[in-house]
Structure 1
Amino acid sequence: MGAGDEGGEDVMAMAGSAADELYTLRDSFFPADILEKDSKLKSLADSALQILDAVPEAKRTSPLQRASFEYLRGKILDVFPVYRKEAEDHLSKAVKLNPSLSDAWLCLGNCIWKKGDLASARNCFSLGLSKAPNKKILCQLSMLERKLAQGNGHTLQLKTFDSISKILRTKLKVWKKAFGLPKERSPWMLRMEILGVNCLGNACLTSFFVNGVPDYNRLFQSIKAYQNAEKDENMTHCPDLYFNCATANKYLQNYQRALTGFEAAALKDPGLNAFEEVRKIVNVLDKIEDAMKVQFRKKNKDPPSSLFAEVSKSSSQGRATIKTLAEGQNKSVALTGRVLHFLKHDDAPPLYYIVCDSEQNCFVLSIYGLHSNALKEGDWVTLLEPYHQSVDFSWKNKHYGFSSIRVDFMGQLLVNGKAPSAHLAVQSMIQAQHKPS
């Protein structure tokens, strides 16, 4: 091999390193002013293209050489958050010249995803995986499937549940198989494994609502996966990780952890909508506190009703009050209460109600999967095997403290002594970050 050949290969390697540096900046630099990031990306991209253009013409002649050249040019051009047709054209040439170049399929899928053609993006990822195992592609495919699971609007159609559920079950198996085996790993492999664990968490988070019924085991699995991903120092700079973990904690009503996570995500990347998530949670908590204070002042004005005893007879389980419940699931008991107030708020479900028990102690009832008109103020509810949480924490010098019962599925709820009608409000509440990268 001559000196010229070696020089050409060196320049190509330098261009590859410049492209990698460009993407490192994209994934780790989150200034308060987004224009500052755009400016740095443009400067580094221009430099990387100059290096690439210095590759000798003699090193761009064979199909494989040309494919690598087109791939790097398309990858550099695609670093920006908006779709660029020029990037797609170069990446398309790369995969035509070398269909086995899985990284080019990955970049092409990401590029087309930005255009909004999700089906074609998924096809690119699938074709890339058919050429060779690629954990980066698996990461993106997992996130794309989550995006597809959300549908085109805010509400998922019931007819899509079976197909979406099958997709997610398949993806979960893939992730567990790919990242659950203890093997000797290089630093690069460890990095990709951590990224995959993050995506496993995202897949679990998606499946929380995919059947129209919340599956809290999936939330616990997602949080565990996110915590494993946090073990990698590089991931501590990933705002999406904090955002997604906070989302899981939000649905588990671990309010303090959710607030801390969203705030951390917002500080790492002001471009995220994380501060808005903090505002929504605080707004709900403030409304709960205000409503509880109002009901406390009215406590002695409404004497206990004999209907409590009558409604309680409809359950064969032991009677309980909010004060007798243990933390977590309370087996073989039922709590009867009267709905005092429906809490209107601007956040995603659950629905929140203020309820009082037979001793006139108030608590918060949260329910997923029910239309707001299915349960009205004045209704009597019987909560079977209630899941109890004591909320007690301070945030920004304000203290929040109240008892909460969560209804996980409709079989735990009786309204006026009867099972509620099937008013499932199946919504796409998955707010995990899922952008092409």
Structure 2
Amino acid sequence: MKNSVEEEEGDAFVRAAKATESLYHLRDTYYPPNPCDRISTLQHNSDLILNLLDSIPIEQRKLPAQRAIFEYLRGKVFDVFPDYKKEAEDHLSKAVKLNPSLADAWLCLGNCIWKKGDLLAAKNCLNLALNKGPNKKILCKLSMLKRKMSNGADNEAELVEESIQHARDAIALDVKDGDSWYNLGNGYLMNFFVTGASDHTKLSQSLKAYQIAEKDEGMKSNPDFYFNSAIANKYQENYQRALSGFEAAALRDPGLNAAEEVQNIVNLLDKVDNLLKVHGRDSRIATLASSSVAVNLISPYRTVTVDFLSEGLNKALAVEGRVLFFIGSDNITPLYYLLCDSNGTCFVLSVYHVRPDVIKGGDQLTLLDPCFRNVDLSWKEKRYQFKSIRLNFYAQVLVNGKTLTRQQAVFTSVDAQHEP
């Protein structure tokens, strides 16, 4: 049975540990309109915990194991801020020297050094933490770090695949952990952009992971989760879900550019709506539609009109269309155009991997394996309805009967993620 001195010593460390966990919960859920208020609140609560730790008598933190916990908690408190703090690194370094078995101290030290910009040293710390035993938090942090390390690296795709594997390993430890599923979704999302934003199955995998993550109540306070899932929905042209996701992110963290993303999508939808209202019944459309020249297509393709398409991917089908307008947007990719088919039906084309100067007004486009969608959504009491075709790769479009060359293509790598 513990004596009163041991109980008092234990209680002090337990109180400090619980207060530190509450501090991190505050960090992950508190996003006031003014970011300075968030930092000042974290600072106030940090000072209280540091005072609590300092109040523990020296004789109760003399032993190496006691001192290691003391240094670890102080370091973790200093590391709660978004920017690197040398005090955090100093205390956490002392903690792992005093007790190399403290996995969470290694985890915190890796996170701290990451902020310093030394990604390789951060990875070494996280690997040392993982050597203490399987841990979903460490695996998730490694997953995030590998994505960060992939930016501009020669082995970019390999590092992103490693990020995905770390997330899968974390899920294997706890299949209900939302943060692990969120990391998996982020991994697939980055894989989509790293591989040239052409493989939309990566987006589908990303969205499936995000949907499972959302079942964890803890994820509903994470603005970055809503932002990243909205990015995936935007590129899948799930405009309703994208708008709702960005709005949710903006409500949780006004510091994100989520409100700007909402406006960008609304601007695009308004442009489409206005073009269709003004030009949808333009007399020249019939002339343009009838001027299409027959294009010899290789087997198994056959030409159809837009009204013949089914929702989703339409393999081995081709649509002939005339370009009416280029629709400017704030996106780097894709490019948007308003077209009409041979029946005079207007539709929106979004095309990836094509240089902006390749497709011009009046051009005849042959769209192979089109991914079709009947867009119908309402936002802020305004309804948007139009037909849409998405082409994921430059080889899916012929311009005036000619295939495009790689010189006419562009391979854009977009970093669209926010990481907590």
TM-score by length of 2: 0.92
The match for 2:133 is 132
For residues 263-315 of structure 1, give each alpha carbon's deviation from its aligned partner in whole angstroms, at most 9, with x where no partner exists.
Answer: 0111112122211110111111122222333432534466146652422x235
Q: Which amino acid aligns with 1:426?
A: F
Q: Which has the higher contact order (CA 8 A, sep 6+)?
A: 1
The match for 1:186 is none
Shift of the alpha carbon at 1:419? 2.0
User: Contact 2:289–2:321 at 8 Å: present in 1 too?
Assistant: no
Q: Distance in 1 between matches of 2:401 and 2:36?
A: 59
* Alignment partner of 2:187 out of 193, 197, 203: 203
SS in 1 for 2:294: helix
Taking the TM superposition and a 5 Å limit, the aligned residue runs for 1:326-405 are: 326-405=310-389
* Alignment partner of 1:314 out of 289, 297, 300: 297
Shift of the alpha carbon at 1:136? 1.0
Q: Distance in 2 between matches of 1:211 and 1:200?
A: 16
The match for 1:118 is 119
Q: Distance in 2 between matches of 1:115 and 1:361?
A: 56
* Alignment partner of 2:162 out of 149, 167, 170: 170
* Alignment partner of 1:228 out of 198, 202, 212: 212
The match for 1:260 is 244
Gaps of 5+ in 1: 152-156, 182-188
Q: Distance in 2 between matches of 1:10 and 1:415?
A: 74
For residues 386-432 of structure 1, give each alpha carbon's deviation from its aligned partner in whole angstroms, at most 9, with x where no partner exists.
Answer: 11011111111222111110002233222222221214433332322
User: Contact 2:365–2:401 at 8 Å: present in 1 too?
Assistant: yes
Gaps of 5+ in 2: none
The ranges of structure 1 where at least 4 consecutive aligned residues each deviate by more than 6 angstroms after the TM superposition are none
Distance 1:124 1:377, change over 3 A: farther
User: Contact 1:205–1:219 at 8 Å: present in 2 too?
Assistant: yes
Q: Distance in 1 between matches of 2:253 and 2:23?
A: 17
Q: Which moved more, 1:33-42 or 1:214-223?
A: 33-42
SS in 2 for 1:310: coil
Q: Which moved more, 1:261-270 or 1:32-41?
A: 32-41
1:430 aligns with 2:415: yes
SS in 2 for 1:131: coil
Q: Distance in 2 between matches of 1:401 and 1:335?
A: 20
User: Contact 1:226–1:245 at 8 Å: present in 2 too?
Assistant: yes
Shift of the alpha carbon at 1:80? 1.6
Shift of the alpha carbon at 1:218? 1.6
Report how many aligned residue pairs link the two structures: 417
Q: Distance in 2 between matches of 1:430 and 1:279?
A: 19
Taking the TM superposition and a 5 Å limit, the aligned residue runs for 1:286-297 are: 286-297=270-281
User: Contact 1:206–1:430 at 8 Å: present in 2 too?
Assistant: yes
Q: Distance in 1 between matches of 2:325 and 2:131?
A: 55
Shift of the alpha carbon at 1:367? 1.3
SS in 2 for 1:336: strand
Q: Which amino acid aligns with 2:182?
A: N
Share of identical aligned residues, percent? 50
Shift of the alpha carbon at 1:321? 1.0
Shift of the alpha carbon at 1:135? 1.3
The match for 2:105 is 104
User: Contact 2:289–2:344 at 8 Å: present in 1 too?
Assistant: no
Q: Distance in 1 between matches of 2:113 and 2:257?
A: 24
The match for 2:257 is 273
User: Contact 1:299–1:360 at 8 Å: present in 2 too?
Assistant: no
Q: Which amino acid aligns with 1:166?
A: E
Shift of the alpha carbon at 1:126? 2.5
